[in-house]
Chain A
Amino acid sequence: MAPPVTQFELAQPPNDAISALAFSPDSPSRLLAASWDKNVYLYDTLQNSEDGAHGTLIQSFEHRAPVLDVCFGADGGEAFTAGMDWTVRRIDLATGEQTTVSKHSAPVRRVVYSREHSLLISASWDNTLHVHNPSDPSLAPLAVPLPAKPQSMAASPSKVIVAMASRLVYIYDLSALSAALSSPTPTPPQPWQQRESSLKFLMRAVAAMPSDAGYATSSIEGRVAVEWFDASAESQARKYAFKCHRQPATDGPAADVVFPVNALAFHPVHGSTFASGGGDATVALWDAEAKRRMKVYQKFADSVAALAFSADGRYLAVGVCPGFETGMEDYSGEGRTKIFVRELGENEALPKGKGK
């Protein structure tokens, strides 16, 4: 039998909405959380404090402005953050030292690090990607112009997917970016593929399959689309989109309320499993290959803002905070922002018919 499934709430959560969560690549218990309260928090999720609270806040790193994204670097010792203050920063998690890696001319929305290519890519609302090689800081970041504002970005082993406004999806080949960066006269490469979102509404999140086969995007209108990189007609015919994160209206006449899908995350081990978190405060597990829902977790108190699987796939971190889709002016995530860590059962994320 699978061990009892546990879910616990981390002590000392951020004081305001969570923008991103990231598990360390080499430890299943080190979790980074980026928050609108201008801090990046580093937790040890498994080290319980004396008073019985789950998890320990190891350190917090203050920024000048809200942090919109965070990711680990080459190892668990460094992290990169995307800031509202236009900068991409590297944090040495051991010393807490912050260095500015590059500077955009607008807030930086997302940052991803590709361990395969040792590349750091940041996407900013100034309609550019910046490609860096953090191991060689002497190289000036390569700016890749985008046609629209990037809203989300994800990296698979060989590709990086940029979801933009106006329903544009650009897929860049990481090796091409790497080559362009190291060439003496860097010229921004053309995207490997230019696509149009299968979703009608603004895209909210994108996540790449660890198998390098494809990616999933979600929109503000309760829908998730799964697509494959392979441009062949056969593969493209496999792409699909489905509705999710809808709840019957509690007030007024019968209707479904369609919530935004704020977060997507693929399971690092069972590559076809992915989790989606929506404004309806639920998290669901899906099987991308079998096109079926595997599980819906119990409702959280507030909207799910961020999701992250640990590198070994055993833990799922869920960032919960009140959604800021509406009524933003009086918004405060304080007190209602929480991070839950769910320990997945052995077969919980295993697609049906694969394991047993």
Chain B
Amino acid sequence: MAAGDLIDFDIIEGQKENIQSLPGGRSAKKLAEVFSPSPLHKLATPTPTDSKNINDCIRAEYEAEVTNLSESDDPLDVFDRYVRWTFDAYPSAQATPQSQLHTLLERATKTFIGSAQYKNDPRYLKLWLHYIRFFSDSPRETYVFLSRHSIGEGLALFYEEYAAWLESADRWAQAEEVYKLGIEREARPVQRLVRKFGEFEQRRAQQPDAGDAPSSPALPTVRPALAAKVDPFGAAARAAADPQAPRPTTGVGGQSAKPGKAKLAVFSDASSDASAMSKMGEGAKGWDTIGSLGDRKKENVMGAKPWVGETLTTQVKKSSGPKMSVFRDPSLSRIAESHIVIAPSKHQVIVNPQSGKRERVFVNLEAIYPTPEEPGTELSFEELWAASRGWLDVCWEDESIIEEEIANEHPSEVDLLGKQVAEKLVIHHDMVELDENGAVKDQARPTKSKKKKVMEVNETQIIKAKLDSPSGPKIKKKGMANSEPTMTMHTKAATDDIYDIFNAAPPAKSSSELEDVDESEDDYTTDGDYTSGAESANTTRRVSLSEAGEDDETSDVKSVSEWSEFTTQKHVPKIDGESDNEEEDDDDDEEEDEDETKESPRTRFVPIPPEDYQAPTRPYRDPVEVANSRLPFMTPITERTESSLALATEAKPSFASAKTLSKRSSLDAPLEEDEDDEDDEEFDLPSSPLQEVFSDPRTPSKITQPQLKKIKVYAAPLDELPVAKEVQKGPIIKETRCNPLDTAIQNEILERTLPPFSSYSGFYDHSTERSERGAEIRKFIKAVAKSAGKKENDKTGTLQSPVVLEFPELMNEYTLKRELGAGAFAPVYLVENSSPEDAEEDSDGPLIAMGKGAFATTTRAAQEALKMEHPPTAWEFYMMRLAAARLGPQHRATASISAAHELHLYQDECFLFLPYHPHGTLLDVVNFFSETTKTPMEEPLVMFFSIELIRTVEALHSKHILHGDLKPDNCLLRIDDLPTGAGGSLSSQWRADGSGGWSARGVTLIDFGRGIDMRAFTPDVQFIAEWKTDAQDCAEAREGRPWTWQLDYHGLANNIHTMLFGKYIDVVRDTSSAPGALGTAVCRRYCIRENYKRYHETAIWKQCFDVLLNPASHVDAEDNRKLPVTRSLRRVRETMEEWLEKHCEKGTGLKTLMARIENMAKSRRS
């Protein structure tokens, strides 16, 4: 007895799920053989599949035997062994197709159906039983089939199995019938059958009730009509003839009875004619064969048929899932994982949770994290700086190509140098090429936007080098057609060169010819015609004279000197061309009037409409009012100028025939007092030929490009790639004298600023589209105003549906509420922002506590102001952003400057969203005091606001930004939330550093529409006012003298004066000082007309006004002896601060005064 004979049951146990149970059980040994490691195969855990090859061999042997079945004495034996082998070889026989048990059994059983020899052979019966057990889908039918064929008729096994099956199906009665039939037929072994029947009887007795069990005969020969019941659709005759037909067959009948309409597609055996069943004919009883399993399931198999004429139904499956799975960049998800949202407003100032100490992040997080929510978008300093210098826009791909070209051409050029010199034609070529040069550049990068100036400049110069190449022109020609406006280097040297050329070439024709060429080339800026420059230059001079004459007797001298200054400049010979070019931009209307203009320069002397000019000043000096020292006139001042503007524009069309006249008058009395420079486009451009003369260098591309290039060609070394840096660093506007509010100048600055203006966050450029919401908005506002006037209560009831502004880029929407400030050209509305930033008050507390308040102004609130300037302009937005960017988030002054949230610029309208400052203006405060106390503001309060204003202006000036429109209406009261550290109330002691909560009080400057970026101009620039000046304009502007920073100083003085005296400033010449220096601007001194009160801090105020009104005389204290006089201003402020720190608690006390203002502001709000 070898140990190996022992059966390792572990093996079987491990594989038992793979073993099909057999009724007779299995040989453990054989199983173990199958599953135990075969000596042939070294595999540790063989599976039956490992023995596949062996099995295949054995199977082949069996198959051979089967084919020789007819020769066999006992053919059943072959199958019997074959089947048993299959069971042994494939323990999981039924489950696996490898075993082929299914076909084998079918073959075996079918072979001997008609064989009398095996009818009662238990082996045959057992094959059938295997078949029934494993594969028959309707055992009962099969049993009936067997009984019909008398298979196992004499075997007890048949009856036992059948009865057992019936019993398992709860067909007790039928099972009993079967047993009884078996016993009746004396099936062998009868004893066992009887015993089994006895057991059955017992089981049945235990069964509570089998009443509902089918009582039909188990062997339905006795019920031939059963089929009729089963198959209601079946053809009656056929059903009657073949009552026992298997179901698939009856299905055939179904097809004919009910064609097509059935909801359930009933299988119809298309090949039924050819089927074995049908072949049997009507005469067949239906039990000739039970059919193979495949036969019975043939509805599950789609038969092959020709494709011709078939329609493939493409059923669209409506999936419930997402329609399209959005592609997710795995790398992006990687980014997203590590991404932390750094919200600038939350992280710029962090409060250390442990120490409670505040930490200010030096870096401007808003710049670093422009879109904090978007992973991977943060920018390094280098990127920011590179962007601001324009390097990121540079496409070096092209550059290198061009460079290569140059390099390639260079040697040949050298070779040809002698030839070139010899050939006169070459020079001519050069001329032509120069013209085309720009075109080539365009061709190289036709999609480049104008913004990428840097690039263009670069290329311009690069191509210059190319110009020498004789092969150049052919390529370049192509670009001619689509030439774009191009930027060109206009260094001073270059422009001087141009002027030299023009000076040298006396005939004006040549220049005009050039003009023509340029115009044809330059389809961008050329859209109109213009007055004769020379003439208009003339007229302007007169204008200045006349204006000055009204104001000041000495101005004659002044303007003459100015003129002489003007003539000494090289610009003169160019006046014609230059001014022409300038005015190209301006006005189409001009065209018709050209002749008129020329002929009637005198119309300029038409007196200024008195209502414009006199209206504002007269009430101020009204003796009655002055005597009362009350300020009733203060109340209606707001937006005065705008209404006058409106008048002027409305009047304009009526001048149809005398257009020039109207224009003239508008020139003389510039309208856009309050308004933005945009209006200039309409009115004032022609007014200043002088300025245009000076402004010519900024349009060299239009005029003198060829010459410029020609000159440059030889100057530029080939290997040097001049980059825009020089240009960038320098000011954008080269004119030394211009109107800074000129639309053309502003546009140029906007276009050439770096980083490109279009890249500003919050700027949405739709300038090619029209918005056309204005009418709707105005209508709505009118309705609101009307209903508000009627009745406060039913306002909502009578309102039309509120106007909701949506913009394509933004999720949030703005609901228009009411008008905040009316104005013909820039109405301001209150809007409700649908998605304000959820600034958690608690956590943000400390931020505001910083006193910078910058974050309070940059976060979005539920209520915001919408300014709709007309004509649309991006200037104000740009200036506000510029100011904020230059000051940085840390700067205290940032809190005193209104932030610009977003700008949507359309062709016809623009929407500028600003924070809403609900507390009223400085003017309101002044009026409040004059109404309640009948006196001007208390001095400490004036001091407080003056310090705040001076500090803010100082900061702006130090960043080279001029506000340009400082007036009480543009100073909004700032009442921020008090810092938590302040204990909920202001400290009674004021401190210059803003502690004690005082940093949360002050003003916010708005309306940067007339802001000037001094950095965009040359340091020695001088501005010329082209609007009608009044007492609120600085002396220089009023007298027609050029000015720069004086504008803001005067505005500041006006603000302080208004607060101190309760009336607008009036300036007089100070005759007491500088007696011997009459006639020179520098030595002229101004002071305020008003007398200081005896209780006033006369020394401080005198010093203050002296600096503000005579800044030029204080330049000595400055570093480079030039304006701005920031240092003197700071000294004034420090004196004031010192005084206020000492005196803030005296008298009423600054804190009490501030509380009064706060109450006023609150009541105003409600």
Could you list which residues of chain A lie within 8 angstroms of chain B, going by C-beta atoms?
Answer: 17, 19, 36, 38, 64-66, 68, 84-87, 103, 105, 107, 109, 125, 145, 147-149, 151, 164-168, 194, 196-197, 200-202, 204, 220-222, 246, 249, 251-260, 279-280, 323-332
Contacts and interface: CB of A to CB of B under 8 A. Distances in A.
B190 interface: no
Contacts of B400: 103
Interface string B355-393: 001111111100111000001111111111110110110
A256 B356 CA distance: 11
Contact of B362 (A17, A257, A324): A257
Contacts of B362: 222, 257-260, 279-280, 325-326
Given A200-B340, A221-B361, A255-B359, A145 B331 contact: yes
Contacts of B391: 65-66, 84, 107
A255 B360 contact: yes
B267 interface: no
Contacts of B379: 165
Contacts of B399: 64, 85
Contacts of B336: 166
B382 A68 contact: yes
B334 A168 contact: yes
Nearest to A169: B338
Contacts of A329: 388, 754, 885-886, 1015
Given A249-B360, A258-B361, A149 B993 contact: no
Contacts, number: 176
Contact of A258 (B360, B396, B721): B360
A325 B364 contact: yes
Nearest to B384: A328
A196 B651 CA distance: 67
B723 interface: yes
B342 interface: yes
Among B380, B849, B885, chain A packs the most CB atoms within 10 A around the CB of B380
B255 interface: no
A221 B363 contact: yes
A68 B381 CA distance: 12
B363 A246 contact: no
A167 B360 contact: no
A249 B362 CA distance: 10
3 smallest beta-carbon distances between A and B, as pairs: A255-B358, A147-B331, A166-B376
Contact of A167 (B340, B364, B850, B993): B340
Interface residues of B, number: 67
21 contacts: A36-B385, A65-B394, A66-B386, A85-B396, A125-B383, A147-B335, A149-B383, A164-B376, A167-B339, A200-B342, A253-B850, A253-B999, A255-B349, A255-B357, A259-B362, A324-B384, A325-B363, A326-B364, A326-B890, A330-B960, A332-B729
A324 to B, nearest CB: 5
B1040 interface: no
Given A168-B338, A200-B340, A220-B368, A327 B380 contact: no
B379 to A, nearest CB: 8
A148 B376 contact: yes
Nearest to B333: A147
B888 A327 contact: yes
A327 B894 CA distance: 14
A197 to B, nearest CB: 7
Interface in B184-199: none
A107 B382 CA distance: 10
Nearest to B719: A62
A194 B334 contact: yes
Contacts of B1022: none
A294 B381 CA distance: 28
Contacts of A330: 886, 960, 1015
B54 to A, nearest CB: 45
A151 B376 CA distance: 11
A166 B381 CA distance: 15
Given A165-B376, A329-B886, A330-B960, A256 B339 contact: no
A68 B386 CA distance: 10
A323 B367 CA distance: 14
A255 B852 CA distance: 12
Given A87-B396, A326-B363, A252 B388 contact: no
A85 B1015 CA distance: 27
B994 interface: yes
B339 A166 contact: yes
Nearest to A109: B382
A107 B729 contact: no
Interface of B: 331-332, 334-340, 342, 347, 349-350, 357-364, 367-369, 375-386, 388-389, 391-392, 394, 396-397, 399-400, 721, 723, 725, 729, 754, 849-852, 885-886, 888, 890, 892, 959-960, 981, 993-995, 999, 1015
Nearest to B382: A68
Contacts of B377: 165
A333 B698 CA distance: 27
Contacts of B888: 326-327
Contacts of A109: 380, 382
Contacts of A148: 335, 375-376
Q: Which of A17, A151, A196, A325 has the most CB of B within 10 A?
A: A325
Contacts of A254: 357-358
A149 B360 contact: no
A256 B357 contact: yes
A252 B994 contact: yes
A19 B378 contact: no
Contacts of B380: 109, 149, 151, 165, 202, 204
Contacts of B360: 249, 255-258
Given A253-B995, A255-B358, 10 more contacts: A85-B394, A107-B392, A148-B335, A149-B383, A165-B379, A254-B357, A255-B357, A260-B362, A279-B363, A329-B754
Contacts of A280: 362
A333 B415 CA distance: 43
A255 B725 CA distance: 38
A258 B359 contact: yes
B993 A252 contact: yes
A166 B396 contact: no
Contacts of A38: 723, 725
Contacts of A66: 386, 389, 391
Nearest to B350: A258
Given A166-B378, A202-B368, A204-B380, A86 B396 contact: yes
Given A148-B335, A221-B363, A253-B851, A105 B397 contact: yes
A256 B1015 CA distance: 32
A330 B732 CA distance: 13
Nearest to A219: B363
A253 B358 contact: yes
Contact of B892 (A84, A103, A221, A251): A251
B382 A328 contact: no
A252 B892 contact: yes
Contacts of A201: 342, 347, 361
A253 B846 CA distance: 12
Contact of A220 (B339, B363, B993, B994): B363
Contacts of B368: 202, 220
Contacts of A220: 361, 363, 368, 381
Nearest to B377: A165
Given A66-B386, A255-B360, A202 B378 contact: yes
A98 to B, nearest CB: 11
A192 to B, nearest CB: 15
Nearest to B357: A256
A68 B380 CA distance: 12
B359 A107 contact: no
Nearest to B387: A328
Contacts of B386: 66, 84, 107
Nearest to A256: B359
Contacts of A194: 334
Contacts of B376: 147-149, 164-166
B782 to A, nearest CB: 43
